[in-house]
Structure 1
């Protein structure tokens, strides 16, 4: 079957490492134009160079998803470099998990601003384009904490549950409005990325580190899932995909 990924322009946030970087490399290998956004310029530049040296098409812009104007500029870069936008992968996120009683208030704000508002900013940046062209795909990283409730992940899980609802409503509204916007929400479990580095609560970090060391798998697993979702025909939307390591209970 011919890859539908070929020549699509795909914007990826949180692209400097982990799931975002792995996805960018795989999609570029399969013929997509990838436009990379994250806060670390050095890592974005290195990843872009790696993709280009391998024969792929890539561009990048330093982007903080908390600010709509910066996400809009990233999308505008995709239009300028490659003539349009077909997919956005809202992948940027942090996971400074802790018990609610610890009252890490600034971390609550940060999770809401990045994990939820950052996704909303991604949606806002592409919605006028996708609505006008009556085509497009919005892919968003949630978490198994957006499907189940876990002690120690109350606020993190709240942002991921919110993403789950948001994406399903976009799917339903698009079907009603006839805009043909496909949506995919990905729910990763223990994937070995830099997420654990955002945890400041010592007890939570210890427990999560032990779990990930025991069962965690590489971010390439999620890259393959995103690749699959993009590669489906325009009349088919793979709306939800949960990914567990085989060893994780």
Structure 2
């Protein structure tokens, strides 16, 4: 099992939900965490919790992942603070009006910008250094919606299917380089992003997804866990 102590992780969407849980779980493993999101006050609250409860080292960077320059600055700030980046977790996501027949073009563009382009910007920003060092791990938080399309999820599902394809292709591009890539696909998680109506089945907790991230990261350096699907029972 790989020791994560003093590794440096950049987590987007870290101010709430799954991203927040991932940041906390990694800090428990003594990872140095860089929290990225759009709301400074919420990022600061997460940082203070990690510092007070875990005595963790934390950097917060207000970041709009739809802006390539902002994502590049995020990675630069992480390197300036901690020396390097070892782990990138693309957790920022948007789930908006997705049915094609609703014609909400602005919502579609937002989901494409955040879910797809935002993840690509992060990957592009860390890859040169990862490849030169022959080490590094990219975690993309996808969704089971990338596999299963409903009549109300068309565009959201399309963005998550794109993230699956990006992860699968990138793993092949990076074979034998030492850089690992993982896609984690949650079912319905109890976060503000999730639907309120989930019938009788209990939703997953953000911590469940965070633990899947830690599992993938802790595998030996020669093991690349490409895909994890996490569903409620």
Partner deviation per Cα, 1:192-217 (whole Å, 9 max, x = no partner): 11214xxxxxxxxxxx3211774212
When the two chains are superposed, the root-mean-square deviation of aligned CA atoms in Å is: 1.3
> If the length of structure 1 is used for normalisation, what is the TM-score?
0.90
Larger helix percent: 1
The alignment partner of 1:158 has SS state of: helix
How many angstroms apart in 2 are the aligned matches of 1:193 and 1:73?
28
Tell me by how many angstroms 1:43 deviates: 0.6
**TM-score, scaled relative to structure 2:** 0.96
Instruction: Give the secondary-structure state (helix, strand or coil) at the position aligned to 1:95.
Output: coil
**Alpha-carbon contact 1:4-1:232 (below 8 Å) kept:** no
- Mapping for residues 52-71 of structure 1, pairs under 5 Å: 52-53=51-52, 54-71=54-71
Alpha carbons of structure 1 residues 98 and 163: separation in structure 2 relative to 1, 3 Å? closer
Structure 2: any 5+ residue segments left out of the alignment?
A: none
Runs of 4+ in 1 over 3 A off after TM superposition: none
Spell out, residue by residue over 1:61-105, the C-alpha distance to the aligned partner (whole angstroms, 9 max, x if none): 000100111111111122111111111000100101442111111
Give the aligned partner of residue 190 of structure 2: 192
Tell me the residue number matched to 1:241.
Answer: 228
Q: How many corresponding residue pairs?
A: 232
Q: What whole-Å deviation, never above 9, does each CA across 1:143-164 have from its counterpart, x for those lacking one?
A: 0011122221100011111110
175, 181, 184: which is aligned to 1:183?
Answer: 181
Q: 1:141 to 1:65 in 2, by over 3 A?
A: same
Within a 5 Å distance, the mapping from 1:33-52 to structure 2 comes to: 33-52=32-51
Quote the Cα distance in structure 1 between the aligned partners of 2:190 and 2:199: 7
CA 1:144–1:97 in 2, change beyond 3 Å: closer, same or farther?
Answer: farther
- In structure 1, stretches of 5+ residues that fail to align are 197-207
Give the aligned partner of residue 129 of structure 1.
Answer: 129
Contact 1:144 1:188 in 2 (8 A): yes
Verify the 8 A CA contact 2:181 2:225 in the aligned structure 1.
yes
Distance 2:183 2:162 in 1: 12
- Whether the 8 Å contact between 1:191 and 1:212 is mirrored in structure 2 is no
